[in-house]
Chain A
Amino acid sequence: MANSHSTEAQGHNPDTDGSLPPEGSELEAHLQSKHMVINMGPSHPATHGTVRLKVELDGETIVKIDPEIGFLHRGFQKSCENVTWTQCLPYTDRLNYLSAMMNNFGFLNAVEKLIGLEIPERAQYIRVIGSELHRLTDHLTCVGATGLEMGGFAPFLYGMEARELIQDRVTELTGARLTTTFGRVGGINRDLPEGWADKVLRTLARTEDLLLEMDGLLTGNRIFVDRTKGTGVITAEDAIDYGWTGPALRACGVDHDLRKVQPYWVYDRLDFEVAVGEHGDNYDRYLVRMEEMRQSIRIIRQALETIPAGPIIVDDWRIALPPKPEVYGTIEGVMAHFKLVMEGIQVPPGEIYDATEASNGELGWYLVSDGRGRPYKCHVRAPGFPVLAAVPHIIEGKMLADLIPTFDTINMIGGEVEQ
């Protein structure tokens, strides 16, 4: 293939065709025209997470691309199937290190449905607030990194400033910066700290300012627009066929958001809009993420305004740990505590598929319980997995430079994809 190509390329060389050098002249440049295979990754600055892209190039055009994943694979399923339900929580955090709470709460939502448990209203509100805070950090990182890799460092810094502020609030809430392990089956770990809501409101105001700055620096920027508009295009039909969800699908013009179509927790009481794009290109995916951040800020404000008082975890000692005075003071408390820690929550046998809308799309869980304290089967449908699977389809035949913005805006998260 390479040889036949090289003779053909000599005849159409734009550098030499105009000046008409004699046939076989020493002046005629022999341009390299063999196909070249290059490896991007496993740790390339533009591949978020460890993914190796085997790219076959003809000049600058991508002929074939084969994403090879699995460098981070750490046996998420097998690990979960060998610990109790509660002990799975730290593993779920580590699926997406930028939105740990969403993965955490998504898993818990599935487990609670499997048990048939309704969690207290206040816990539902706090889950919404935590999820939306983490949606902000996730999108800020994605958009900031996109700007950075298109050559703009300032938007990245603004994004990081906003993300750090939000992560400070997350730290105050959960005690951890990235891997929060904040949820519990039946509710959440602890209540909102004193004065936290006011701090969040101040952080959101600052985040809005920073979003405006990023918007001003990127949305009309000539370089950014030229590199993202019309690149990485996928039609809505193809995106659906590949199983895309979340911002990447909405950028194709499909109005689909699980928070709206099958509301969980208290999303149906909150007023927000679903951001929808039009063209399915990198620019629209960027715009959808920007709009989603504004909507998240709206959601958090409303939730903080209307959050009711009350318990934050169910009062059932078969599911939630008893209060400490009961553990230290009564035999029933000790026994419940001991059984929960040693044996885990006794989830009734059965199976379930349940999904929530994480920052990158549908985060689905297929869980099987055999009635003992451990998950028998714990399958996660990571939103990034089908999105990454479609990258060869949308990038083959395009330029190598288009790969970078495409890879940025689909926001593949290694931890989820590689489980």
Chain B
Amino acid sequence: MDRVSAHFPEAVVERYVDRAGGAWAVIHADSLPKVAAFLKNDAELEFKLFGSMDGVDRLHLAENDPRFEVIYILYSLKRREHVRFKVRVSEHKLVVPSLVPVFRGANWWERLTFDFYGIRFDGHPDLRRILLYEEFQGHPLRKDYALRDRQPLIPERPIKDIFRGPGTSGHS
């Protein structure tokens, strides 16, 4: 990340170290593709393996402005280490540039993040839900989505179930 800061001083918003010593960087959403391409192609870094990504809804955390975060984990087979960075997205403008042009592996992870948090990825070739069905309303991993909210595709029959109790019977 030192090299990233040196190359793109305006792109890195914040840097810190997590509890296990892993270095994190917060990147400006606009410069995300640029930074990712640099991490992948720089001869000394070569973070070519797209590890993982996901969203975080910070609604109930002490710091919750902007509300959403998208985290990215890359791995370098050359340096044998992970790199961790994130972008922050506000609730009013839920768009992040897509990394699919840089990493093909980002395709499904971005669909997953879109599915569960409703964050849109600008430039994604095929942005649709991946685990839930198309008719599903809302984004269930947001903190304001109720745990027991149910959206059955076909109406469920009410069951008088003394073992499972209320909340599971389709009355919701």
Contacts and interface: CB of A to CB of B under 8 A. Distances in A.
Interface of A: 69-70, 73, 75, 77-78, 82, 113-114, 116, 238, 240-245, 254, 256, 261-262, 348, 350-355, 362, 364, 366, 368, 370, 376-377, 379, 381, 385-386, 388-390, 393, 418-419
Nearest to A386: B105
Contact of B51 (A352, A362, A393, A419): A362
Contacts of A77: 116, 141
Interface stretch (B5-13, B31-39, B77-85): B77-85
Contacts of B51: 243, 355, 362, 364, 381
Interface in B50-76: 50-52, 54, 56-57, 60-62, 71, 73, 75
Contact of A368 (B56, B75, B130): B56
Interface size grouping (class) on chain B:
35 or more
Given A242-B104, A366-B54, A390-B105, 20 more contacts: A70-B132, A73-B131, A75-B140, A78-B140, A114-B19, A241-B105, A243-B50, A243-B51, A245-B49, A254-B77, A262-B80, A350-B19, A351-B19, A352-B18, A362-B75, A364-B52, A370-B61, A376-B61, A379-B71, A381-B52
A69 B19 contact: no
A240 B19 contact: no
B18 A418 contact: no
Contacts of A366: 52, 54, 71, 73
B19 A78 contact: no
A243 B105 contact: yes
A256 B22 CA distance: 20
Contacts of A386: 50, 105, 108-109
A389 B107 contact: yes
Contact of A352 (B22, B48, B131): B22
Contact of B19 (A73, A116, A389): A116
A262 B81 CA distance: 8
B19 A113 contact: yes
A45 to B, nearest CB: 23
A354 B20 contact: yes
B133 interface: yes
Choose among A241, A385, A390, A418 the residue with the greatest number of B CB atoms under 10 Å from its CB: A241
A222 B80 CA distance: 39
B151 to A, nearest CB: 12
Contacts of A418: 131
A272 to B, nearest CB: 18
A389 B109 CA distance: 9
Contacts of B131: 69-70, 73, 418-419
21 contacts: A78-B147, A116-B19, A238-B104, A240-B77, A241-B50, A242-B104, A243-B49, A254-B77, A348-B19, A350-B19, A353-B84, A362-B75, A364-B51, A366-B54, A368-B61, A370-B60, A370-B61, A377-B56, A386-B109, A390-B104, A390-B105
Contacts of A240: 48-49, 77
Given A69-B130, A113-B19, A241 B77 contact: no
Contacts of A241: 48, 50, 103-105
A352 B20 contact: yes
A77 B145 CA distance: 13
A75 B48 CA distance: 30
A353 B105 contact: no
B18 A350 contact: yes
B59 to A, nearest CB: 10
A240 B108 CA distance: 15
A348 B50 CA distance: 29
A385 B75 CA distance: 16
A238 B48 CA distance: 10
Nearest to B71: A366
Nearest to A110: B20
Contacts of B80: 261-262
Contacts of A370: 60-62
A353 B17 CA distance: 11
B147 A82 contact: yes
Contacts of B22: 352-353
Nearest to B104: A241
A390 B109 CA distance: 12
Contacts of B18: 350-353
A370 B61 CA distance: 7
B20 A113 contact: yes
Given A245-B49, A366-B52, A256 B147 contact: no
A351 B84 CA distance: 11
A351 B81 CA distance: 18
Interface string B124-144: 000000111100000011000
Nearest to A260: B80
Contacts of A389: 105, 107-108
A70 to B, nearest CB: 4
